[in-house]
């Protein structure tokens, strides 16, 4: 419940930072679902041959991740390079998901990330995903795209996006498919 509150507060601030009313993004995202994943990555004798999780962006709106303080493994893609994200005591990692990238008309970028495995220690992470309501119509607010700014993505229903994600069709750059 507290992580959910934090995510919604962050969405309010993201909304404000885009020059929108604080509730604007939350209103578009509708009654958001919350999924929690307990990721357990067993120790792997040949970690260079695999990934705990291959490179991906999160398909939802916002993800709040609690990392294992003892074992690192998360990496993010920045300027074409993979950077290790050191676990920080008393801190969460917050990922912008694909839907905030779409709603911000590309101002916020959904982050490419992956998880490595470790040769001798298992690793644990707990991710909490805020997910738009299935019927949410993902459409960048007019205040963002008005005044001459072109809308980068066509409007789509979140359910359509999500179903594609789980159809096993894990092609990279999913949001690319929705470009105008």
3-state secondary structure of 104: coil
Per-residue contact string for residues 90-119; x = within reach of Ni ion by CB under 5 A: ------------------------------
Nearest to 76 by CA among 49, 95, 99, 50: 95
Q: What is the DSSP letter of 150?
A: P
Specify whether the backbone of 148 is left (phi greater than 0), alpha (psi in -120 to 50) or beta: left
Stretch of 8-16, 53-61, 78-86, 140-148 lying at the interface with Ni ion (CB under 5 A) = 53-61
User: Does 58 interact with Ni ion (rule: CB under 5 A)?
Assistant: yes
Q: What is the DSSP letter of 169?
A: -
Q: What is the DSSP letter of 131?
A: E
User: Do 43 and 119 form a contact (C-beta atoms < 8 A)?
Assistant: yes
| 77 binds, options ligand OGA, Ni ion, none, Cβ within 5 to 8 A by partner type | none
| 125 binds, options Ni ion, ligand OGA, none, Cβ within 5 to 8 A by partner type | ligand OGA
User: Do 114 and 81 form a contact (C-beta atoms < 8 A)?
Assistant: no
User: Does 98 interact with ligand OGA (rule: CB under 6 A)?
Assistant: no
Task: Copy the structure tokens of residue 47.
Answer: 């970690």
Per-residue contact string for residues 39-58; x = within reach of ligand OGA by CB under 6 A: x-------------x----x
Stretch of 5-13, 50-58, 138-146, 152-160 lying at the interface with Ni ion (CB under 5 A) = 50-58
**Site size toward Ni ion, by CB under 5 A:** 1
Nearest to 109 by CA among 79, 129, 142: 79
Q: Give contact residues for ligand OGA (rule: CB under 6 A).
A: 37, 39, 53, 58, 65, 73-74, 113, 115, 125, 127
Interface with Ni ion (CB under 5 A): 58
């Amino acid at each position: 419940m507290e992580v959910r509150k934090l995510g919604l507060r962050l969405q309010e601030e993201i909304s404000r930072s885009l020059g929108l009313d604080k509730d604007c993004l939350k209103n578009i995202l509708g009654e958001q679902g919350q999924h929690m994943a307990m990721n357990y990555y067993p120790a792997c004798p040949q970690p260079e041959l695999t990934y705990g999780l291959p490179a991906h962006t999160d398909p939802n709106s916002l993800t709040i991740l609690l990392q294992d303080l003892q074992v690192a493994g998360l990496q993010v893609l920045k300027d074409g390079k993979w950077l290790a994200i050191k676990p920080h005591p008393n801190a969460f990692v917050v990922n912008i998901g694909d839907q905030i990238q779409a709603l911000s008309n590309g101002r916020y970028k959904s982050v490419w990330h992956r998880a490595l495995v470790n040769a001798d220690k298992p690793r644990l992470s707990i991710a909490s995903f805020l997910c738009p309501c299935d019927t949410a119509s993902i459409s960048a607010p007019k205040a963002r795209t008005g005044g001459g700014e072109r809308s980068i993505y066509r409007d789509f229903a979140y359910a359509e996006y999500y179903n594609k994600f789980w159809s096993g069709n894990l092609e990279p750059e999913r949001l690319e498919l929705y470009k105008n």
